[in-house]
Amino acid sequence: MSDTIDVAALFERRTSYPDPAARQRLARLVGIDDQKHRLAKILGLLVNPGGLERWAKTHHPDADLLLDTVLRRPPLVILAGDVGSGKTELAETIGDAVARAEDIDVTLLPLSLSTRGQGKVGEMTQLLTAAFDYTATQAEKLKANGRARGALILLVDEADALAQSREAAQMHHEDRSGVNAFIRGIDRLANNRLPAAVVMCTNRLSALDPAVRRRAADMLGFDRPDDARRREVLEPRLAPLGFTKNDVDQMISLTGARAKAEAGFTFSDLTQRLLPAIVLDAYPERAVNPKRALEIARDMAPTPPFRDGPA
């Protein structure tokens, strides 16, 4: 790793788990329980394979070949889907669930977009290599026989900005080299079986390099909430304000697709735009009025969907 690189600048911040605040944020993510449970289990196996080995010894003691196949998967999980669907919030908080389930300390390292560099020859490659060097070095210190003493999660948000397909005709040579460095970094973590995993979030799965997608131990899809999941978000928050079942039903309808081929509200539309707008409209002079809240929902447009086209 180059002595001229400021390691701290490679990552937006460091977050250590378990953490009560992260636990609360994770609990507030409703409507994506399947993704939460699946991601926590996948990451737990990737960063602490000792648990799977003990499970196999108890239930399938002769399945060594199968166990080796599962454990040799690259420590990469891709979260892909529409904007506002909870991908980044889940990636930023899932470390708490992993830390508690595996009884280890977990550190989140969100990769800064500055690792793309300024387009200078070799800069992006150097920065990405430095980020993986640091992650591998720190993970090596946590490696132990049978059970990791801790783990790291390298988070790559807006992943298509760093690992876009090398098949794109307009792709710059420097970007191609950067993708190669990214792939080498993932392979290094896998080959050394380090207690570290990479989580990538993207709105454009098709834009990711095929070699990156092939390395993913799993891909989790995220979409806009259907009626049942919007109800899961809205009903417990609106009922205490005096909303009747009919009021809630109308709100569910208004936040769904209003015409054929239109998109409904995203999770973030509901929690970061609609519900705050309803509160702020009434605060501080009066109580929330369900009829007025429905008018606010009717006048509010959902975030336009992100179209994931060919790379």
Domain boundaries, the chain: 7-222, 227-299
* Confidence band of 202 (pLDDT split at 50, 70, 90): very high
**Homologous superfamily assigned to 7-222:** P-loop containing nucleotide triphosphate hydrolases (3.40.50.300)
Give the Å distances, CA to CA, from 39 to 108, 198, 258: 15, 12, 32
Which of the 8 DSSP states describes residue 241? G
pLDDT at position 146: 63
Lowest mean pLDDT among 32-41, 170-179, 201-210: 170-179
Residue 198 main-chain phi, psi, to 5 deg = -115, 130
* Confidence band of 121 (pLDDT split at 50, 70, 90): very low
| pLDDT over 70, % of the chain | 89
Residue 16: closest CA among 88, 93, 113: 93
Is residue 72 pLDDT above 80, yes or no? yes
Are 40 and 182 in contact by the 8 Å Cβ rule? The answer is no
pLDDT at position 153: 97
pLDDT at position 144: 77
- Which pTM was predicted? 0.85
